[in-house]
Structure 1
Amino acid sequence: MPKLKTHSGASKRFTKTASGKFKRGHSKMRHILTSKATKTKRKLGGSALIAKSDTYNVARMLPYA
């Protein structure tokens, strides 16, 4: 059986945790930050876990994660 290719876009966006879940970043943190509240920017700066319904699709894109 041939090797599976990793989806390069997904590999830049998601990382697998030790428990097997996938971690993601938040959007809306690249520019126009002056109009956003400090609380919002602090919250968006951290990472989050992907939804349970998306786990199957992300795991298929990252076969060796």
Structure 2
Amino acid sequence: MPKNKTHKGAAKRIRVTGTGKLVREHTNNQHKFEHKSSSRKRRISGIEVLSPADNSRMKKLLGL
């Protein structure tokens, strides 16, 4: 059996916490902030725990 390869696109977007949860960043949080309202910028800042429905698929992509 060949080794499983990590999906690099997923690895750049999702990380694993110390307790094993998968977390991601919010979308629309890279540039063009002058056009976004302050409340919207606050809402999309920070990280969010990945949905339980996506966990098994993402763990397979990450090789966990």
Q: TM-score, normalised by structure 2?
A: 0.86
Counterpart residue number, 1:28: 28
Higher mean displacement: 45-54 or 26-35: 26-35
How many equivalent residue pairs?
64
Structure 1 runs, 4 residues or longer, greater than 6 Å off:
none
CA-atom RMSD in angstroms: 1.3
Where do 1:1-65 residues align within 5 Å? 1-64=1-64
Task: Provide structure 1 residue ranges, at least 5 long, that are not aligned to the other structure.
Answer: none
The structure in which a higher percent of residues are helix is 2
Q: TM-score, normalised by structure 1?
A: 0.84
Shift of 1:3: 1.6
